Amino acid sequence: MKTILSVAFLIVALCLVSEAVQVQEGDFSFSLDSVKVLQQLIDQPQTQNPRLIKTSYFSVCSNPTLPQEFVPLCMQRGATMSFARLASVPVDICEICAFAACTGC
């Protein structure tokens, strides 16, 4: 019985730790899963006009599938640059915590 409880505790602990990776952007901290969703939204096919790239970050804020933790960032001045930095975060490296902006491993 003690073995079963120990194994169950370890599984729960591993699940909690796997969701604990945070990506730091200025004063904000976002979960790695939310950053992945943001990157998918930004990587959706855009128009090829380079002048419209800045506008595409604003359109991300109006997207209903954007995780709610990004809403305060959308309201900040300089959100475009923050989204650009978050879009360039290498999530594969974050998963092994080898990137300075990723914490919580």
pLDDT in tens, the chain (105 residues): 667 655 555 555 544 455 567 888 888 999 888 998 998 888 765 555 555 555 566 678 888 889 999 999 998 888 888 888 888 888 777 666 666 666 665
User: What confidence score (pLDDT) does residue 79 get?
Assistant: 85
User: What confidence score (pLDDT) does residue 14 get?
Assistant: 47
Query: pTM to 2 decimals?
Result: 0.66
User: What DSSP designation does 104 have?
Assistant: -
Neighbouring residues of 81: CB distance < 8 A, sequence distance ≥ 6: none
Helix or strand or coil: residue 29?
Answer: strand
User: What confidence score (pLDDT) does residue 68 get?
Assistant: 93
User: What confidence score (pLDDT) does residue 51 get?
Assistant: 53
96, with CB counted inside 10 A (0-12, 13-18, 19+), is exposed
User: What confidence score (pLDDT) does residue 53 get?
Assistant: 52
User: What confidence score (pLDDT) does residue 11 get?
Assistant: 54
